């Protein structure tokens, strides 16, 4: 069976249930964690440049706040639906627990295609989202951030609109991922990729891989993928041999120059015609015999269908849910070390936490503290797996996170789990 269209909400619930059972915990734990505390679905109406009114479906899911305020990004994508944001909010809860930051899990999104919208339409949509959601967000309640197809400018509009609907009170901590001029933090743009690179560095030590000259393939060349290419090259000394985007892929066995390729993508919108490499199929990229593979696009990239052909030694999940449950089993049997999304892409929320604290750090300080948090998280999960033979890094991440959540819920008096 090919689970290429695996439902993310069912996947999240299934993995939580498996971890609860593996831990021998009460079924009450699963009942408490299997669905979000709150899910808001609303209509955001925008007057388009054509003069016509268009309604967009908007969502905000708040999964669990035992460890702290709900925290999670807002994505603009045609594929956004209730199941996606529920799953992402659940993963964010667990991600914060793995990262060791006192925040809970939230996620939001609007079903739209921002690539065909003007700047004015996007601003109107962003402000409309806040007007619909202002009753459930706040700097001590739920703190949004950028995600797929959203950015610091959109966060600035949202922060400003929150001030408008809130009667003029300036509250810069209501969102993170803001422009530096409005209270953002140095290092936020590349935080997800940087955290993933730190995790790869630690994983390489475990498998005996020298990252200097290691071959790397990157599926997806958005913000996370672009910075993963640059930082893998400049921070780890690795060689980027293949990169793909939604329209194609490019390959060069001798290495692609990451910054040059990023500039080409910025100018042309595609990577496949980059003169420094040869065009290949997007699926072919996933099957290359590389040392490290970064799935950095959307979910369900590696499935039961193509997992047998994956030849990477390490997979670093910069996307959320890029490896299906069926593929996990295949990759484990092949001896591939999968760095799960709960660890691999938690750099974004860690640096968002630093911003939320309003730390006035330099880029170097932010990177140093992020390195510490990612390294500590990796070592905790690796040690967990060492103490529980047969437990994968993903299973260790879920089990460790759930243990932390259960303890927090007990301490709060939410139940005798």
Kindly state whether residues 177 and 214 are assigned to the same domain.
no
Range 42-54 burial, b when 16+ CB lie within 10 A, else e: bebebeeeeeeee
Q: Answer with the one of 161, 182, 203 that is the final residue of a domain.
A: 182
Q: Identify whether residues 57 and 138 lie together within a single domain.
A: yes
- Classify residue 395: in a domain, yes or no: no
CATH code of 319's domain: 3.40.50.720
* 43: in domain: yes
Residues 265 and 323 grouped into a single domain: yes
**62, 100, 370, 384 from 332: Cα distances, Å:** 32, 26, 28, 17
Residues 59 and 177 in one domain: yes
Q: Does some domain include residue 164? A: yes
pLDDT per residue as tens, the chain (417 positions)? 444 568 999 999 999 999 999 999 999 999 999 999 999 999 999 999 999 999 999 999 999 999 999 999 999 999 999 999 999 999 999 999 999 999 999 999 999 999 999 999 999 999 999 999 999 999 999 999 999 999 999 999 999 999 999 888 999 999 999 999 999 999 999 999 999 999 999 999 999 999 999 999 999 999 999 999 999 999 999 999 999 999 999 999 999 999 999 999 999 999 999 999 999 999 999 999 999 999 999 889 999 999 999 999 999 999 999 999 999 999 999 999 999 999 999 999 999 999 999 988 999 999 999 999 999 999 999 999 889 888 999 999 999 999 999 999 999 999 888
Shared domain for 217 and 326, answered yes or no, is: yes
Residues 212 and 141 occupy one common structural domain: no
Looking at the structure, tell me whether residues 228 and 160 fall in a common domain.
no
Say whether both 204 and 176 belong to one domain: no
Domain end marker among 182, 211, 237: 182
Boundary (domain end) residue, out of 130, 163, 182: 182
- Provide the terminal-to-terminal Cα distance of the chain, rounded to the nearest Å: 36
Residue 2 lies in a domain: no
**244 and 167 in a common domain:** no
Residue-number span of the structural domain to which 339 is assigned: 191-344
In-domain check, residue 407: no
Active site residue 17: no
Residue 416 parent element (H or E): none
Residues 92 and 205 in one domain: no
Q: What is the per-residue DSSP string for 24-91?
A: T--HHHHHHHSS-SEEEEEEEEEE-TTS-EEEEEEEEEEEE-SSSSEEEEEEEETT--HHHHHHHHHH
In a domain, 370, yes or no: no
CATH number of 76's domain: 3.40.50.10860
Domain-located, residue 338:
yes
CA distance 133 to 152: 19
C-beta separation of 301 from 319 below 8 A = yes
CB 96 within 8 A of CB 168: no
Question: Do residues 90 and 230 share a domain?
Answer: no
Q: How many domains does the chain divide into?
A: 2
Catalytic pick from 71, 86, 95, 107?
107
Judgement on whether residues 261 and 326 belong to the same structural domain of the protein: yes
Beta bridge partners of 104: 70
């Amino acid at each position: 069976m090919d689970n290429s269209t695996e439902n993310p909400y069912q996947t999240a619930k299934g993995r939580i249930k498996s971890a609860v059972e593996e831990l021998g915990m009460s079924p009450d734990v699963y009942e408490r964690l299997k669905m979000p505390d709150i899910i808001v679905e609303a209509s955001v109406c925008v007057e388009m440049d054509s003069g016509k009114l268009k309604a967009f479906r908007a969502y905000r899911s708040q999964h669990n706040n035992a460890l702290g305020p709900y925290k999670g990004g807002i994505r603009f994508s045609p594929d956004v639906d209730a199941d996606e944001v529920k799953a992402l909010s659940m993963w964010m809860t667990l991600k914060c627990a793995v990262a060791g930051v006192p925040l809970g899990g939230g996620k939001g999104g609007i079903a739209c295609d921002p690539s065909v919208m003007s700047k004015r339409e996007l601003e109107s949509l962003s402000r409309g989202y806040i007007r619909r959601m202002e009753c459930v967000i706040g700097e001590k309640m739920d703190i949004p951030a950028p995600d797929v197809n959203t950015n610091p400018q959109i966060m600035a509009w949202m922060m400003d609109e929150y001030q408008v609907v809130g009667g003029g009170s300036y509250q810069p901590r209501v969102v993170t991922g803001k422009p530096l001029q409005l209270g953002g933090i140095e290092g936020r743009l590349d935080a997800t990729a940087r955290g993933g690179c730190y995790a790869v560095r630690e994983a390489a030590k475990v498998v005996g891989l020298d990252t200097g000259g290691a071959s790397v393939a990157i599926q997806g060349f958005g913000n996370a993928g672009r910075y993963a290419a640059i930082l893998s090259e400049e921070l780890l000394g690795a060689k980027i041999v293949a990169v793909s985007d939604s329209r194609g892929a490019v390959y060069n066995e001798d290495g692609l120059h990451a910054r040059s390729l990023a500039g080409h993508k910025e100018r042309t919108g595609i990577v496949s015609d980059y003169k420094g490499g040869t065009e290949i199929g997007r699926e072919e990229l996933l099957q290359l015999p590389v040392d490290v593979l970064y799935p950095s696009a959307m979910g369900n990239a590696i499935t039961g269908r193509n997992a047998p052909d994956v030849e990477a030694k390490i997979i670093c999940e910069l996307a959320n849910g890029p490896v299906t449950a069926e593929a996990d089993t295949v990759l484990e049997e092949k001896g591939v070390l999968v760095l799960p999304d709960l660890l691999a892409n938690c750099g974004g929320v860690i640096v968002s936490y630093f911003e939320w604290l309003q730390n006035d750090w330099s880029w170097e300080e932010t990177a140093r503290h992020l390195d510490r948090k990612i390294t500590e998280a990796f070592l905790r999960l690796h040690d967990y797996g060492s103490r529980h033979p047969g437990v994968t890094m993903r299973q260790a991440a879920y089990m460790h996170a759930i243990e932390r959540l259960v303890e927090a819920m007990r301490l709060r008096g939410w139940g005798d789990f």
